[in-house]
Amino acid sequence: MNRLAALVAGLALLSSTGCMHDSEWSVSRALGWDDNPGFDPKNPPKASLPVAERVEVLGRKILAQNTFTGIEPLIFTAGVKESVLFHHGTEQLWISEGLVNKCKTDAELAAVLCAELGQMVAEKRSAKSVGRDVDPIRDASFGGSPVLGGGTPVDAGQQANLAFHEKRFPRGNRGVDAADAAQAARDLLKGAGFDPADLDRVSPLLKQSERGENIRKQMGSSAPAPDWKK
């Protein structure tokens, strides 16, 4: 019992310090969960470190050089080969390793990221324009207590808040102007020092595969976690 209590206390400490989500080290790895072939993770597989760093550095540059967007999302890279690109409210942007690898230059990757960031900016503006400046609520897997045995952290109270919030403010019911989103993307790209014309050149890259679209739909809502088998 004392060993279990110590383990739980250690997990709580690591969670509070952010170590549970570190790209180089994690509790699941320390406990051997990542090495267990029977372990079925609820989180997406991690992208390779060079790919994740490429996205992180470029994403930070875009956001740092566009200081008046009204959004400050975290940008995550999932280790799947399909082309996947989507966002959760104004807090998270997800891109797949497969899509990143299709971007041969930083200009192309910046254009892909700005295409989604532009959509996020347009959604933020749309909410303000109709007097509903309410961002989609964070998912229940953020800030919850860690679940032993390989599960994701889940906050039961937040899950209830999420259901109530999405009933009042559906994620897919924002009435965003496509032209506004496109202009926001061009402005972001130009602000980061890239040619806005690159958006047209990466248009074919933004077409997602069938499985990629299914992943986007599942992770872009409160639906059950997708099957992350590579």
Considering the domain architecture, whether residues 97 and 195 belong to the same structural domain is answered as yes
Do 74 and 156 fall into the same domain?
A: no
Burial 88-105 (b: 16+ CB within 10 A, else e): bbbbbbbbbbbbbeebee
Cβ atoms of residues 192 and 62 within 8 Å:
yes
pLDDT of residue 198: 96
Give the model's pLDDT for residue 213: 74
For residues 8 and 146, what is the distance between their CA atoms, to the nearest angstrom? 9
129 and 192 co-located in one domain: yes
Residue 129's alpha-carbon distances to 32, 85, 179, in angstroms, are 50, 26, 15
Residue 217: inside a domain: yes
Check whether residue 53 and residue 71 sit in a common domain.
yes
- Specify whether 122 is located in the same domain as 182: yes
Measured between alpha carbons, how far is 108 from 106 in angstroms, rounded to an integer? 5
The pLDDT of residue 229 is: 57
Q: In the structure, what pLDDT confidence band is assigned to residue 177 with cuts at 50, 70 and 90? A: confident
For residues 97 and 57, state if they share a domain. Answer: yes
The answer to whether residue 31 is domain-embedded is no
| Pairing of the two strands 74-78 and 85-88 | unpaired
Q: What is the pLDDT of residues 4-49, one digit of tens each?
A: 444 445 544 444 444 444 443 333 343 333 433 332 335 678 899 9
Please say if the pLDDT value at position 63 is more than 50: yes
Mean pLDDT of 75-98: 91
Cα 225 to Cα 228: distance, rounded to the nearest angstrom: 8
Q: Is residue 29 part of a domain?
A: no
**Does residue 124 share a domain with residue 78?**
yes
Question: What's the structural domain count of the chain?
Answer: 2
Range of the domain at 161: 137-170
Least confident of 73-77, 85-89, 226-230: 226-230
First to last CA, the chain: 38
Q: How far is Cα 195 from Cα 187, in angstroms, rounded to an integer?
A: 10
Q: Residue 222: what pLDDT? A: 46
Report which DSSP code applies to 207.
P
15 located within any domain: no
CA atoms within 13 A on the CB side of 151: 11
Q: Is residue 165 part of a domain?
A: yes
